Amino acid sequence: MKKKSISFVLLAVILLQSCVAYQKTSVSLDSAVDKGKVKVVKTSGNEFRFKNIYIKNNIYYGDAKTQEIRIDTTQIKNIYLKDRKKSNKRTVLLALSPLIVYATYAAIFVILSLLFV
């Protein structure tokens, strides 16, 4: 029983850090500068996710996990900013889902044990 509880808590912690939702409407490259997490869709269909977009010497760069990537402004189709409200809601729901499943399982187990005893 204790091992299951620990595993559900660890799963909730992992899920708590993993959800990012982006706004539905695209923004311009200039308005995405220094706004936090962004998703850039190129005309080829490739998607890039950056922690931040910034300008250095009149050139746009995206801050990826381990490197900075130069952004070719002619190849950009759409840019989406992180939607903080959606991200928070999804993160909470994902974090609570193991607990809800566990509580449902426990309630069914109690009901069945009462019925068949």
Write down the domain spans for the chain. Answer: 1-19+85-117, 22-82
pLDDT in tens, 71-98: 998 999 999 988 777 777 777 777 677 7
Give, to the nearest 10 degrees, the angle between helix 2-16 and helix 84-115.
160
pLDDT in tens, 38-56: 999 999 999 999 999 999 9
Which tokens hold the place of 22? 């982006």
CATH of domain 22-82: 2.30.30.100
Question: pTM here?
Answer: 0.65
> Nearest 5°: phi and psi at 8?
-65, -40
Using only C-alpha atoms, the chain has a radius of gyration, in whole angstroms, of: 21
CA distance readout (Å), 97 to 12, 18, 84, 90, 106 = 8, 14, 20, 10, 14
